[in-house]
């Protein structure tokens, strides 16, 4: 029987960290399935899913935890198989606007109040093309309950967008 592990990793950014992780996973009969990793504020940070035979799971978790001695902090959680009991529709939310505190808070509050799950969220600050001002860009993959009125959601997001001076689109 195979076990899936969800791993979060963080450490000072330097060459070889991904190799160190991959080598450790492979050495314990594990398989690297999917991941997202980035350099953020001088740190290497990521999340990944690895699959390992149940008999090797605890040994792999211990080996990953031991990587902290080499500067990489790894937290491992056994994945649980959760299937959605509610029918959902996949929707992409894209946002761009002048950076200011509270954008993610306000948008996520509107989504959570409608029982919308954020499946994936990517954000970045980029330099504006017409000015040196920073623009906040976000792209979110959402699981929206099938009975959600998308026009109502669009209106609620547009009201927030107006207050925050950002542009939001739903696809």
**Residue (of 160, 32, 40) closest to 100 by Cα position:** 160
The confidence score (pLDDT) of residue 84 equals 59
- Per the listing, tokens 């649980």 go with 80
The confidence score (pLDDT) of residue 134 equals 85
The confidence score (pLDDT) of residue 83 equals 62
What letter would DSSP give residue 69? G
User: What is the DSSP track for 40-61?
Assistant: ETTEEEEEEEEEEEHHHHHHHH
Number of alpha carbons in the 13 Å side-chain half-sphere of residue 166:
25
**Residue (of 75, 71, 6) closest to 44 by Cα position:** 71
Kindly give the confidence (pLDDT) of every residue in the chain, 171 residues in length, as a single tens digit, with 9 standing for 90 and above: 999 999 999 999 999 999 999 999 999 999 999 999 999 999 999 999 999 999 999 999 999 999 999 999 999 999 987 665 678 999 999 999 888 899 999 999 999 999 999 999 999 999 877 777 889 999 999 999 999 999 999 999 988 888 878 888 888
User: What is the DSSP track for 76-116?
Assistant: EEE------SS-EEEEEEEEEEE--TTHHHHHHHHHHTTT-
The confidence score (pLDDT) of residue 69 equals 94
Common-topology check for domains 2-78 and 88-170: yes
CATH number of 2-78: 3.30.70.260
Number of alpha carbons in the 13 Å side-chain half-sphere of residue 66:
9
Sequence-ordered list of residues with C-beta below 8 angstroms from that of 109, at least 6 positions apart, any chain? none
Identify the bridge partners of residue 86 per DSSP, sorted by sequence position: none
Would you say domain 88-170 falls under CATH 3.30.70.260?
yes
The confidence score (pLDDT) of residue 129 equals 75
Distance of alpha carbon 68 from alpha carbon 163, whole angstroms: 44
**Separation of first and last alpha carbons in the chain:** 39
3-state secondary structure at position 61: helix
Domain ranges of the chain: 2-78, 88-170
The confidence score (pLDDT) of residue 121 equals 95
């Amino acid at each position: 029987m195979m076990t899936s592990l969800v791993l979060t990793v963080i450490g000072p950014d330097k060459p070889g960290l991904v190799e160190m992780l991959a080598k450790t996973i492979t050495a314990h009969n594990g398989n690297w399935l999917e991941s997202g990793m980035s350099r953020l504020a001088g740190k290497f940070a990521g999340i990944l899913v690895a699959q390992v035979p149940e008999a090797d799971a605890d040994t792999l978790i211990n080996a990953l935890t031991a990587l902290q001695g080499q500067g990489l902090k790894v937290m491992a959680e056994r994945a649980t198989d959760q299937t959605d009991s509610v029918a959902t529709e996949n929707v992409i939310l894209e946002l761009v606007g002048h950076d200011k505190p509270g954008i993610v808070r306000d948008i996520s509050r509107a989504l959570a109040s409608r029982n919308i799950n954020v499946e994936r969220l990517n954000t970045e600050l980029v330099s504006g093309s017409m000015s040196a001002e920073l623009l906040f860009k976000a792209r979110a993959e959402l699981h929206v309950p099938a009975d959600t009125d998308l026009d109502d959601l669009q209106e609620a997001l547009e009201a927030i967008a107006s207050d925050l001076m950002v542009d939001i689109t739903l696809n």
